[in-house]
Chain A
């Protein structure tokens, strides 16, 4: 008994040292495992898109393609944008989505910034309460307003038009944009604007020449969100669009998946292409994205 306890006390410093050495290794290994967990499904989509079909269907499955081919990619790139082929269909839908996403981002930033400026500087009636009411609209499930929206659009002859989706997505993202931009404007010292106005700038001039350039990070962060929301939205697009005149990428993709047949490679390729804009945004604007995501909750 006595000796074993002695041994233990002698061992303890060594154990401690071993633990100290081992800790970073364990952290590293677990972190890599977590990373793999989130990356693997996306990586598999990409690998499937460059693996020849015959190899993709072998059992047991080989994970790395022996002769990777980018045939499906060239098939989509060279396809004429027409309704007849899957690739052509998808191409038009991607075009629609880019156009809608771009318009939503622009309109949201312009109109949202104007409103945000009013809330930050111009002594709005019910200021904070109105902002909370706006944010509350974000909690309303889309499904709760989709029926009247559909009826309204149909009555106005606005079904199956890209402009309809632009207006809808703008209104959905606007409260967030207003709230975020208000926060940014409030961090800009009033004196800067005042001195610009003394130098002969109008208030609007001061907004565009002084305040907006200084809030560029905020514009990036909010713009990214407006674009991503428009690019990814599915349920409303599914109901509001009927033909390629307005069909967006998620709708075209869902239709394609609905016909899930053996052209798995092509389907995965289409999936990868749908991932490109959001992933590019996530990698290039990582900092802005995280800032926008966490702005509210962390400050509150």
Chain B
């Protein structure tokens, strides 16, 4: 009996029924993620300039990839994104851990504090861009007003006008948005640690630092690994906040890799080169993810 006939008559095995239930979801994912991912490879081997009408895709072999590795623009954009990642991992994660330990103590309004932490996490990147653009405003921004009223600066600063500073300011805004997630995850992790462990550590006369390094950190290591991976993947995708805050400027100082690829594809309409860049990016991110897994697995086993 054919599969379709069985569907009609309702004589399905358990497994066939399962496949039937999955079908709609799977077809959708295949069409929206699977097909484009495959077609993207085809694009990377072709010259596809949509701006020149009437010209179909032209096969050019590995030229697009060669350009990715030869041209400095892509790597500069990549390094900028990498800097975002470094800040997220080296500043955001330890900071998030510290705040999580703090919020895990008993104090009044603890529930309110935890709810507050959620807010930056749920807001969209465009709104965050707006919030920080307004705070960093050169003439009417709250940051200038605050720093001047406290006496830290004597004149208003154009925070986003100077390339190097602009990059730092965008990174700060990104940290503000990204750290709450770390806090929430670590809070959940801390709650799974049995309190008896801390009690016995205290009885043995362990210092606070020893407790942190010998009990807390090893026990949240699996969460740390998950976050390292996801943070790296996500931070290389940062786009919204840059688009709204600086549009990659000044002088492409804040042009992160997603923004550069977007610009190449939809402003310069150079689809082939852009697709090759996104594949190289995907490859690098995957390699990083594998390295993390290897490193942490060794740590955890020990």
Contacts and interface: CB of A to CB of B under 8 A. Distances in A.
A111 B37 contact: no
Chain A interface helix/strand/loop/mixed: helix
B119 A38 contact: yes
Given A124-B19, A234-B243, A286 B115 contact: yes
B161 interface: no
Given A61-B145, A147-B43, A278-B122, A297 B32 contact: no
Interface in B28-42: 28-29, 31-37, 39-40
Contact of A171 (B31, B108, B110): B31
Interface string B55-98: 00000000000000000000000000000000000000000000
Interface string A268-290: 10010011001101110010011
The 7 closest A-B pairs by CB, nearest first: A122-B18, A232-B124, A118-B18, A171-B32, A61-B145, A294-B188, A148-B36
A28 to B, nearest CB: 5
Interface in A220-272: 228, 231-235, 238-239, 249-250, 253-254, 257-258, 260, 264, 267-268, 271
Interface of B: 14-15, 17-19, 21-22, 24-26, 28-29, 31-37, 39-40, 43, 99, 102-103, 105, 107-110, 112-127, 129-135, 137, 139-140, 142, 145, 148-149, 156, 176, 180-181, 184-185, 188-189, 192, 222-223, 226-227, 233, 236-237, 239-240, 243-244, 247, 258, 261-262, 265-266, 271, 274-275, 278-279, 281-282, 285-286, 289
Nearest to A97: B124
A250 B226 CA distance: 29
A293 interface: yes
B92 to A, nearest CB: 13
Contacts of A24: 107
A98 to B, nearest CB: 14
Interface string A125-154: 100000000100101111111111111100
A173 B187 CA distance: 25
B135 A167 contact: no
Contact of A122 (B21, B116, B223, B239): B21
Interface residues of A, number: 93
Contacts of B148: 60
A124 B21 CA distance: 10
Interface of A: 24, 27-28, 30-32, 34-35, 37-39, 41-42, 44-45, 48, 56-57, 59-61, 111-112, 114-115, 117-119, 121-125, 134, 137, 139-152, 167-168, 170-172, 174-175, 178, 203, 228, 231-235, 238-239, 249-250, 253-254, 257-258, 260, 264, 267-268, 271, 274-275, 278-279, 281-283, 286, 289-290, 293-294, 296-298, 300
Contacts of B132: 41
A239 B37 CA distance: 17
Contacts of B34: 137
A296 B15 contact: no
A140 B33 contact: yes
Given A124-B18, A171-B31, A235-B240, A141 B285 contact: yes
A140 B119 contact: no
A139 B233 contact: yes
Contacts of A142: 237
5 contacts: A114-B22, A115-B24, A171-B33, A234-B240, A275-B127
A282 B119 contact: yes
A174 B27 CA distance: 11
Given A231-B124, A297-B226, A300-B222, A61 B142 contact: yes
B11 to A, nearest CB: 13
A249 to B, nearest CB: 8
A174 B140 CA distance: 43
B140 A38 contact: no
Contacts of A115: 21-22, 24-26
Nearest to A170: B28
